[in-house]
């Protein structure tokens, strides 16, 4: 049991935290702008490189420099929306989706040009694990990622339900035409959507970079799993995306545990497929997702 918690459950919750933070942005963008943003994983990469650059000049813990990475990701998101997505807003959705693939390639190419294609670390050296009750050993990053994700989930829920801007975002997501007629500034709502989605993507990118390494394909490699989490929770439902992220993360990691016999139930090489099997099964029997989101 101790081994299961130390080496499977806690890493699964950490992976779920990364998926959850990325999936929230995907879900919000789809709910308000009505298109699948395939450059979202690359916003994670931009945020991670922003923090990496800040660490070179200010040698403190990367988590303290998250605002730098978030600011860079937000600036990148607002720029691509202004110059790439807004001119296509009145056209069929497929044009914006294809455009997002181009934006993803631009982000990755710029990352290779500015920071090289090498793997780089955010935290040098070995950080000793946290020891609880003399038996549980938890990596400090894992504890920080899980705790911060839960705090963000609560804060996001309060923002969307209690603030005027949050209620406007929900109104635009439910009925954009009616919201515009009611006098809601839809462009302001769109800007706030990009700000929140990019900031959360940057945080997820920093967590992923600290857990492994920072490289140009960091976010792209995680993107399909984040889409699966967003669909699983219900498109357009931020809390559903968070739940979906944790479910996908838990399913992937726990499927490699030796539940029967001494060998892993599923080889770690195939664990990514587990989350997609869950997603496909849910789409067949409950196409709106766990939280009854928007149909694709």
Assigned domain for 292 exists: no
Domain range for 178 is 2-121+135-285
Nearest CA among 5, 1, 2 for reference residue 253: 5
Assigned domain for 293 exists: no
Written as six digits, the tokens of 173 are: 């997501």
What predicted TM-score, i.e. pTM, was given to this entire model? 0.93
The answer to whether 230 and 23 have CB atoms below 8 angstroms apart is yes
Nearest CA among 216, 214, 253 for reference residue 16: 253
Which range (8-12, 246-250, 277-281) has the least confidence? 277-281
Written as six digits, the tokens of 206 are: 């920093």
Assigned domain for 294 exists: no
Count of the separate structural domains present in the chain: 1
Q: Which has the higher per-residue pLDDT, 278 or 293?
A: 278
List the CATH number of the domain containing 190: 1.10.3470
**Confidence band for 134, pLDDT divided at 50, 70 and 90:** low
Assigned domain for 273 exists: yes
Average pLDDT over residues 59-87: 95
Assigned domain for 19 exists: yes
**Confidence band for 207, pLDDT divided at 50, 70 and 90:** very high
Average pLDDT, the chain: 89
CA 72-73-74 angle, 5° bins: 90
Assigned domain for 75 exists: yes
Q: Which has the higher per-residue pLDDT, 87 or 132?
A: 87
pLDDT for 123 equals 81
List, in order, residues 6 or more apart from 205 with CB less than 8 Å away.
43, 44, 45, 46, 47, 48, 69, 73, 218, 219
| pLDDT one-digit tens code per residue, 114-126 | 999 999 998 876 6
Nearest CA among 23, 31, 25 for reference residue 73: 25
| pLDDT one-digit tens code per residue, 227-274 | 999 998 888 889 999 999 999 999 998 888 777 777 777 877 788 888
Euclidean distance between CA atoms 211 and 170, whole angstroms: 33
Q: Which H helix or E strand runs over 141?
A: helix 140-162
């Amino acid at each position: 049991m101790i081994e299961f918690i130390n080496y499977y459950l806690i890493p699964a919750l950490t992976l779920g935290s990364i998926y959850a933070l990325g999936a929230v942005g995907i879900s919000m963008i789809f709910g308000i702008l009505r298109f699948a943003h395939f450059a979202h994983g690359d916003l994670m990469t931009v945020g991670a490189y922003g923090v990496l650059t800040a660490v070179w000049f200010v040698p403190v813990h990367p988590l303290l420099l998250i605002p730098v990475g978030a600011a860079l990701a937000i600036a990148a998101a607002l720029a691509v929306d202004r110059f790439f997505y807004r001119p296509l807003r009145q056209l069929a959705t497929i044009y914006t989706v294809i455009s997002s693939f181009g934006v993803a390639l631009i982000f990755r190419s710029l990352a290779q040009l500015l920071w090289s294609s090498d793997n780089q670390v955010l935290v040098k050296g070995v950080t000793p694990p946290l020891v609880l009750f003399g038996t549980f050993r938890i990596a400090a990053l894992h504890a920080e990622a899980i705790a911060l994700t839960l705090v963000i989930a609560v804060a996001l829920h309060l923002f969307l339900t209690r603030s005027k801007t949050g209620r406007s975002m929900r109104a635009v997501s439910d009925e954009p035409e009616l919201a515009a007629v009611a006098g809601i500034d839809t462009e302001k709502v769109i800007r706030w959507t990009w700000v929140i989605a990019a900031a959360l993507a940057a945080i997820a990118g920093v967590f992923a970079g600290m857990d492994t390494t920072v490289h140009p394909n960091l976010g792209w490699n995680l993107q399909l799993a984040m889409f699966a989490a967003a669909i699983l929770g219900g498109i357009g439902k931020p809390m559903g995306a968070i739940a979906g992220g944790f479910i996908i993360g838990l399913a992937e990691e726990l499927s490699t545990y030796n539940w029967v016999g001494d060998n892993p139930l599923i080889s770690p090489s195939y664990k990514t497929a587990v989350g997609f099997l869950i997603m496909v099964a849910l789409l067949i029997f409950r196409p709106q997702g766990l939280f009854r989101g928007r149909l694709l």
